[in-house]
Amino acid sequence: MTQKFEIKPATISDVPLILSFIKDLAEYEKLAHEVVATEAILKKTLFGDNIHAEVIFGYLDDNPVAFALYFHNFSTFLGRPGIYLEDLFVKPEARGNGIGKKMLAYLANLAISRNCGRLEWWVLDWNETAINFYKRIGAKPMDEWTVFRVTDRELEVLAKS
What is the per-residue pLDDT for 157? 96
Rounded to whole angstroms, how far apart are CA atoms 111 and 126?
28
Spatial separation of the C-alpha atoms in residues 103 and 138, rounded to whole Å: 15
Catalytic residue among 28, 59, 106, 134: 134
Which range of residues forms the domain containing residue 100?
5-160
The arithmetic mean of pLDDT across residues 33-45, rounded, is 98
Count up the domains in the chain and report the number: 1
Mean pLDDT, range 105-126, rounded to an integer: 96
Instruction: Kindly report the three-state secondary structure assignment for every residue of 59-122.
Output: EECCEEEEEEEEEEEEECCCCEEEEEEEEEEECHHHCCCCHHHHHHHHHHHHHHHCCCCCEEEC
Whether pLDDT at 142 is above 90: yes
Residue 48: helix, strand or coil by DSSP? coil
28 is catalytic: no
What is the predicted pLDDT for the residue at 2?
72
Query: What pLDDT does 85 receive?
Result: 98
Residue 107 contacts residue 85 (beta carbons within 8 Å): yes
Nearest CA among 97, 98, 116, 3 for reference residue 54: 116
Q: Cα(88)–Cα(48) distance, rounded to whole angstroms?
A: 22
- How confident is the model over 52-94, as pLDDT tens digits? 999 999 999 999 999 999 999 999 999 999 999 999 999 999 9
Q: What is the mean pLDDT of residues 138-150?
A: 93
pLDDT score recorded for residue 1: 61
- CATH code for the domain of 103: 3.40.630.30
Express as a percent the part of the chain with pLDDT over 90: 97
With 0.85 as the threshold, say if the pTM is over it.
yes
% of the chain residues with pLDDT over 70: 99
Q: What backbone phi and psi angles, to 5 degrees, belong to 34?
A: -95, -10
Whether residue 3 has pLDDT greater than 90: no
